[in-house]
Amino acid sequence: MTRNVIYAIIGLCIIVVLIAGGIFAFHIIGSKTGIEYGTNILIKGDGATFPEPQIQAWINAYTSMKKNVKIEYAGVGSGQGQSDFINGIVDFAGSDPPLKSDKWSEAVKKYGKVYQFPIIAGAVAIAYNIPEIPDTYHLKLSSSVLVNVLLGKIVYWDDDRIKELNPDITDKLPHKEIIFVHRSDSSGTTQIFTTYLSLVSTEWKSTVGSGKLVEWPLDATGRGLGAKGNPGVASTLKSTPYSMGYVELAFTKGLGVVALENREGNFVIPTEESIKESLKQVSYVLPSPDKNWDEYNILEKILNPPGENSYPVIAFSHFIVKGANNYDENVAKALADFIEWVLTEGQKGEYIVEGYVALPPEIAQIGLKVAEELRGG
Partner 1 sequence: MDRFKFLTSFFPSILILIFSSMFIVLIYNSLPILEREGIRFITDSTWRASESNPEEEWYGIATALWGTLYTAILATAITLPLSLSTAIFICEFAPRKVREFLAITLDMMATLPTVVYGVWGMTILAPTVRDHVIIPIVEALGWTLIFSEYSPSGQCIFTAALVLAIMNIPYATAILREAYTMIPQVYREGIISLGATRTEAIRILLGMIKHAIIAAVALSFGKAVGETTAVTLTVGNSFKMSLSPFVAGYTVTSLLVNQFGNAYTYKYASYALYGAALVMLLINTICILAGLTLASRWAKTYGFRT
Binding-site ranges for partner 1 (CB under 8 A): 49, 76-80, 82-83, 100, 103, 177, 179, 181, 184-188, 211-213, 215, 219-220, 222-228, 232, 235-236, 238-240, 242-243
Of 48 and 162, CB closest to partner 1: 48
- C-alpha span between 324 and 342 (Å, rounded): 18
User: Closest distance between partner 1 and the C-beta of residue 189, in Å?
Assistant: 11
User: Closest distance between partner 1 and the C-beta of residue 48, in Å?
Assistant: 9
User: Closest distance between partner 1 and the C-beta of residue 168, in Å?
Assistant: 27
Of 255 and 371, CB closest to partner 1: 255
Q: How far is CA 188 from the centre of its chain?
A: 7
User: Closest distance between partner 1 and the C-beta of residue 115, in Å?
Assistant: 20
Of 82 and 201, CB closest to partner 1: 82
Q: Of 176, 196, 211, 222, whose CA–CA distance to 123 is shortest?
A: 196
Of 83 and 271, CB closest to partner 1: 83
Radius of gyration in angstroms for the set of CA atoms belonging to the chain, rounded to a whole number: 24
Of 136 and 239, CB closest to partner 1: 239
User: Closest distance between partner 1 and the C-beta of residue 2, in Å?
Assistant: 18
Of 76 and 334, CB closest to partner 1: 76
For residues 133-163, one letter each, b for 16 or more C-beta atoms within 10 angstroms of the residue's C-beta and e for the rest, the string is: beeeebbbbbbebbbbbbbbebeebebeebe
Of 277 and 294, CB closest to partner 1: 294
User: Closest distance between partner 1 and the C-beta of residue 216, in Å?
Assistant: 9
- C-alpha span between 148 and 218 (Å, rounded): 11
User: Closest distance between partner 1 and the C-beta of residue 179, in Å?
Assistant: 4
Cβ atoms of residues 75 and 46 within 8 Å: yes
Q: Of 128, 122, 121, whose CA–CA distance to 260 is shortest?
A: 128
